Structure 1
């Protein structure tokens, strides 16, 4: 029998296995270049600028301040006439920082007689060095001044219009006040009580610094009590420091109270067996008075003489 004739492949024919491999590679290529792989990197365009959060900037940080405000601040009313520039005063070179503070306060008609005495260094008076912060949002600093008189402080804020100095706020607050700026807003704090304070928020309204909000906040000066700490045993007041306990002659341990263990003393002689001649009467055995009067140590019964 003749051997089978081997099959001949047509010229240009491709095996089926090679076609399947080529198709799989094509699909993988489309997936790889057409869609990003999970967890891979991709280009989302130019980076977006990140602006850091704003924070409060204290005024006169070197001075000790008490917790914030209580009395009502005399903020300007929206129906009041617009402020007028300080007469007979101009800012050299249109620079508010170049204006002399004492000269400015002396020429400001809104400065009270008590404040004018502070300019002459009266007892208990102080004119704080000016602070400069942008409170109108125009990029230029405003002048913030504080004049302390006995019992109160007058806070003044001035801005510049051209070369003229314009007062935009005057408020009376307590001597131990606090102040800070947040962006272009002014915050004043006055102590109300030992545990509360009054916060006043001022904002530029295009004409002056207007009072936006006023609230009373709790500041919690009292330290919190640790719930896991038990009060000292034997003390009736919270926070009392326990001292040494002295035993009293009248004190008696109550029901369930722990009785302290006595220190081991010297060994006591063992009592001798009572002879037949010594027998305590039943009335002494049953009398509680006789038992309470006996010493705590066992009594030694003398032996009979021989």
Structure 2
């Protein structure tokens, strides 16, 4: 059956447009262009091959931070039932000289623990609101706790998991903190640098063999315009002081007044 006139006219117009487009493309000087010669790949130069490779680290910084929290049990194996304030009190009890009296390094933290009656993250309590996320991949959440070490500006960051109804600390670090993030199976801590326009970024990732979170990344990143500085560079990561103690969504703490309900930060 022959097509009607409007259909033939439309087909003829489309054919003319196609021919013009091809002709225009043939006269176009565009397309792929060379970016110039490729730089020759250079392999790294190995320095001082005569040196005997080291077999042990120069500094012991507690790379595997794993410790059972004594005196805290988890009867139902549910870490959401663990009181983060009680956990911090247990840590403080291990080093009372750092928190008690007028000469304690963190004497203000020790005094303000009395303000934690309403729970973590409330009022003047130095224990920050805990967050819950599966960091080990076993389908159960871990608890990330932070508490301020005062009168200074240092923050203690801890991660806890549950094993056979026991609470186990699997990561700990004290530092001046710019921010803390949970990403995948990792905890990321950002800290200020003495070099203007830069910050430190440290990342701990769960290691199934060590059953702890290991420091897998330690880098210095630019955060602003470059500015010269005459300050002494920050010591290397190995010289930093480690902590004093040996589902993909982030869940904040549950309200202290209602242990079964999740609160919003």
Which structure's CA Rg is the greater one? 1
More strand by percentage: 2
TM-score (norm 2): 0.49
